[in-house]
Structure 1
Amino acid sequence: MISPFATVSLQPNPPAAQHSRANALSLAELLGALSHALDLTEGQPVGHCKRACWIGTQIGIEMALDDAALSDLYFTVLLKDLGCSSNAARICELYLADDISFKRDFKTIDGSLAAALRFVFDKTGFESGFAERVRAILNILRNGGQIARELIETRCHRGADIAAKMRFSETVQEGIRWLDEHWDGSGKPEGRAGAVIPLASRIALVSQVADIFHSDGGRMAARAEVLARRNTWFDPAVVDAFAAAEQRPGFWEALEDGNFEDHLFALPPARASAVVTEDYVEDIAAAFADVIDAKSPFTAGHSHRVTLFTDMIAEEMGLDAAHRRWLRRAALLHDIGKLAVSNQILDKPGKPAEAEWRSIRSHPAHSAEILHKVAIFRDFADIAGAHHERLDGKGYPYGLKGDEIVPEVRMLTVADVFDALTADRPYRAAMTVEEAFAILDRDTGAAFDGECVAALKCAVGRLAASDDMDAPALQWA
């Protein structure tokens, strides 16, 4: 396979060329590109969050929202799924099902008891034994309300917390937090009703459903579904605004033509959105690392620790501050492609089947694909996408070897494996630092760069010898 680095030029100071692009990129464009990762986690067609954002903003314009409220609405809908990864493992545990297809299909049921029962029977435990499947179904039937409340609360509250880390207003945070409440009080997690639910939440829910049914069945399907839920799920005033907005020329056409993003980023909130600074980019990358790490209990904190270890190696090997900052972003986002992999596979205690292994091996390529969509992350997209390559050519997804693997990838790979070895995994307990370094030493030259391994040893050794860090803390178990 052709090296992805064939067209990538890594200069001694990669961020220099990147800086001007960061100063020219709006917040709306940056988050619009990253929303692709949220669509993958929810099992939605690419562009779902952006299309819902278009629909929601058109509703807001129809309702004559002022500039500030319209801007908050725009980002509420665009980022409505920020917490989507946080309940994935629990869905797999409770329903014995693939979390991604579960989430995708759950959004299409009409909310009636009959539809919910059919969904439970159709989705629960088909790859499990009969007795295990029966136990899971009985548990869901007995505790369905509590389970739904738990899953939605985890998702929405986590999303609101991440929005806060990304410096969004309390209005945006609350809009995300109460996304799944219904006008008639039948929603979750608190059963809020009527105007107690933030307006941004009410509009976001209509927008989400409209896009899902439009993507699946076209304009008439979207229109029928929104109207059918008037006064139950949906605020009648929001439905009426949707009905008026969708009759305007260009409403559906913008969603259906090949220049949709141009339309989305031409909306007033996007044009007025802040230009991202270097520090703001850091905060956004760190927030998306939280989304990634929430995917599995076995990867909690992984992206942040890998970033620390990568930076320790880079400092030891003499990279300057700007270069290290650039590489830290690649480390924070190196596993963003895992959002496309089911937790049934990620958290499996046994050996993956061949199809499951193919899915696992696809995640670095997904990372590269997502990051290539973001102008200021494009320079390191291939770095992130190559973190499972090996010097002997036996890595994945590209089969790179030797000099095809650039130094930044070698640093990231050593950091990634070191953290994986010293953390619990579904198939084994965490190793000690000494055991992890023994494995890295054994595969130095075949899988790992010896200079990178030596640099990490030196950095960890200095930490262990410092007065404020004791040896047990270095096991990161």
Structure 2
Amino acid sequence: MTQHDMVTAADAVAALATIGDLAMGQPPGHSVRVAQLAGHVAEADGAAPDAIVTARLVALLRWSGSTATAPGFAALLGDDVAGRGAMLARMLPAGHRLTFANALPLARVHCEVAGDIARRLGLPFAVEEALRHLFEHANGNGLPARLHGDAVPAAVFHAALAGDLDVLTRAHGLPAALRVIGRLAGRKYPAHLVKNMVPHARDWLDTVDDAALLAVPGGDVPLALVADVLELKLPWLAGHARRVAAVARDAAALSGLPAAVQRCLERAALLHGAGRAAVPCMVWNRPGLLRKAEREQVRHVPYWTVRLADRVPALADEAHLAAHAYERLDGSGYFRGLTAQALTPAHRLLAAAAAWTALRSPRPWRAPYEPAAATALLAAQAGRFDRRAVEAVIAAAARLPATGRAGPLSEREADVLRRIGTGDSLANVARALRISTGAVRTHLDTIYGTLGCATRPAAMLKALALGLI
């Protein structure tokens, strides 16, 4: 990535909060509302100003690890998006498979990733610490470490109570929400927080603004972090947005587009898949033809992507451009179904770059297309893709340096991480590398130790940042 990739920490947090809301089956703006409510809860608790800020930041980022756990929740609940929405609203159907035992590894992944994100954003340590203990309970029966009472960072309780107030009120109405929260007092969060909150609940809910822009400390951070976090939802997609961005940027330069357009195109490519968070894993992982309802969900991906413009005004131009990644010259694309007359050179380059990169990348149901085959496939769709844009993309892709350097890992360790990180099983990796599954596990232990990680998604985030994937 280039210097054009940098955004403020505030913009990155706003984008991550929106993606987290979509992944958890919540409306955009949910985390912003909860952040304001968490500030009220903390203030009523007598928290100092910096602790109030911490509560707000924890609430904004509490779902930043949700893409990393989407595959696990998909296995347990089927639909990871609607299922988690029902879970938050305490509306999971009888007989669901979610238990303490199978939630524990997911909580560990979520908390490690969320904590690492806070560190990458340069946020205060108190925010990182709270995110690493996000699901702890006052009575010691929470996750991931079963901390008890004062051992739990106060911001965890402030954000949890605020989140329940927002979700349960929306799902059941305020009186029912307060009854549920009352039953959880002393168990999930300290009873005194609930006592302080109840008299003000209606006023707090009436005054929060889900379009508010909240202050976030920190300097500039890579926009690629947002893309990397999003792609944890589908391990086989790791690094896709980075590759599309590199190809689109260089194709724009070869096409003679102005520097400002090149910059916007690179950043839009990093965001073009943001709306995928709203679509269940089972849709993305289906190898055959999608059902009608599933096709409609996929067609809404660019709609959810462009909604980032509302949540992150500083990235509005990029979000609007990103939402054209799946438009086609003949009007067969989505979500607007635009035709050639409405598609600018930047739109056409982004569409070609996304399609070319997807064809050249492996998927669970197929191997990557060789360059000649990918070229032929795009050429056969001349009525859908712009010929000059395709030619520029192919030329740009040929000039890009090979990715996947070993960095702090050995070549073998880097290879193991690339394969495991993008979804291969231990057995498949062992077979491909002609080693035992025990040797693969040993390599993973070494990889995690070298990268300072405990879970695959956290290792993937660090590997992408280091250029190992």
SS in 1 for 2:199: coil
Corresponding residue to 1:440 among 378, 397, 412: 378
Are 2:83 and 1:102 aligned?
yes
Corresponding residue to 1:41 among 6, 17, 23: 23
For 1:66-85, what aligned pairs fall within 5 Å after superposition?
A: 66-85=48-67
- In the other structure, the counterpart of 2:386 is 449
Aligned-pair identity in percent equals 28
Corresponding residue to 1:163 among 118, 133, 138: 118
- Do the aligned partners of residues 179 and 465 (structure 1) sit closer, same or farther apart at CA in structure 2, a change above 3 Å counting? closer
- In the other structure, the counterpart of 2:343 is 405
CA contact (8 A) 1:166 1:287 kept: no
Query: How far apart in 2 are the matches of 1:175 and 1:325?
Result: 36
Are 2:209 and 1:260 aligned?
yes
Q: Which amino acid aligns with 1:345?
A: V
5+ residue gaps, structure 1, are: 1-14, 111-117, 125-139
Corresponding residue to 1:209 among 155, 164, 177: 164
- Do the aligned partners of residues 103 and 464 (structure 1) sit closer, same or farther apart at CA in structure 2, a change above 3 Å counting? closer
- In the other structure, the counterpart of 2:352 is 414
CA contact (8 A) 2:19 2:230 kept: no
Q: Deviations over 1:128-166 (max 9, x none)?
A: xxxxxxxxxxxx7xxx44421111212222122222222
Q: Which amino acid aligns with 1:399?
A: G
Q: Which amino acid aligns with 1:455?
A: A
For 1:219-238, what aligned pairs fall within 5 Å after superposition?
A: 219-236=174-191
- In the other structure, the counterpart of 1:128 is none
- Do the aligned partners of residues 345 and 381 (structure 1) sit closer, same or farther apart at CA in structure 2, a change above 3 Å counting? same
- Do the aligned partners of residues 89 and 402 (structure 1) sit closer, same or farther apart at CA in structure 2, a change above 3 Å counting? same
Q: Which moved more, 1:374-383 or 1:314-323?
A: 314-323
Tell me the matched-pair count.
404
Query: How far apart in 1 are the matches of 2:138 and 2:330?
Result: 59
For 1:95-134, what aligned pairs fall within 5 Å after superposition?
A: 95=77, 97-109=78-90, 119=93, 121=95, 123=96
Q: Deviations over 1:421-444 (max 9, x none)?
A: 12222432222233222222332x
Q: TM-score, normalised by structure 2?
A: 0.78
Query: How far apart in 1 are the matches of 2:334 and 2:29?
Result: 27
1:340 offset after TM fit, Å? 1.0
Query: How far apart in 2 are the matches of 1:234 and 1:295?
Result: 29
- Do the aligned partners of residues 33 and 442 (structure 1) sit closer, same or farther apart at CA in structure 2, a change above 3 Å counting? closer
Q: Deviations over 1:388-441 (max 9, x none)?
A: 111122212222122311111111111111121122224322222332222223
- In the other structure, the counterpart of 2:108 is 153
- In the other structure, the counterpart of 1:460 is 397
- In the other structure, the counterpart of 2:127 is 172
Query: How far apart in 2 are the matches of 1:438 and 1:159?
Result: 42
- In the other structure, the counterpart of 2:199 is 247
Are 2:263 and 1:328 aligned?
no
SS in 1 for 2:71: helix
Q: TM-score, normalised by structure 1?
A: 0.77
Query: How far apart in 2 are the matches of 1:320 and 1:404?
Result: 19
- Do the aligned partners of residues 30 and 419 (structure 1) sit closer, same or farther apart at CA in structure 2, a change above 3 Å counting? closer
Q: Which amino acid aligns with 1:366?
A: W
1:333 offset after TM fit, Å? 0.8
Query: How far apart in 2 are the matches of 1:191 and 1:465?
Result: 45
Query: How far apart in 1 are the matches of 2:296 and 2:282?
Result: 14
Corresponding residue to 2:319 among 364, 368, 381: 381
1:69 offset after TM fit, Å? 2.0
CA RMSD in angstroms, aligned pairs only: 3.1
1:179 offset after TM fit, Å? 0.9
1:465 offset after TM fit, Å? 10
SS in 1 for 2:367: coil
Query: How far apart in 1 are the matches of 2:27 and 2:321?
Result: 26
CA contact (8 A) 1:362 1:397 kept: yes
Corresponding residue to 1:354 among 273, 279, 292: 292
- Do the aligned partners of residues 73 and 349 (structure 1) sit closer, same or farther apart at CA in structure 2, a change above 3 Å counting? same
Query: How far apart in 2 are the matches of 1:373 and 1:48?
Result: 11
Query: How far apart in 1 are the matches of 2:146 and 2:193?
Result: 24
SS in 2 for 1:232: coil
Query: How far apart in 2 are the matches of 1:461 and 1:104?
Result: 43
1:103 offset after TM fit, Å? 0.4
SS in 1 for 2:166: helix
CA contact (8 A) 1:393 1:399 kept: yes
- Do the aligned partners of residues 411 and 155 (structure 1) sit closer, same or farther apart at CA in structure 2, a change above 3 Å counting? same
Q: Deviations over 1:104-142 (max 9, x none)?
A: 1122339xxxxxxx8462x46xxxxxxxxxxxxxxx7xx
SS in 2 for 1:247: helix
Q: Which amino acid aligns with 1:155?
A: H
Runs of 4+ in 1 over 6 A off after TM superposition: none
SS in 2 for 1:102: helix
1:31 offset after TM fit, Å? 4.1
Q: Deviations over 1:267-320 (max 9, x none)?
A: xxx4x645x87xx2x62x322212321111222221122111111212222334
1:38 offset after TM fit, Å? 2.1
Query: How far apart in 2 are the matches of 1:148 and 1:315?
Result: 48
- In the other structure, the counterpart of 2:73 is 91
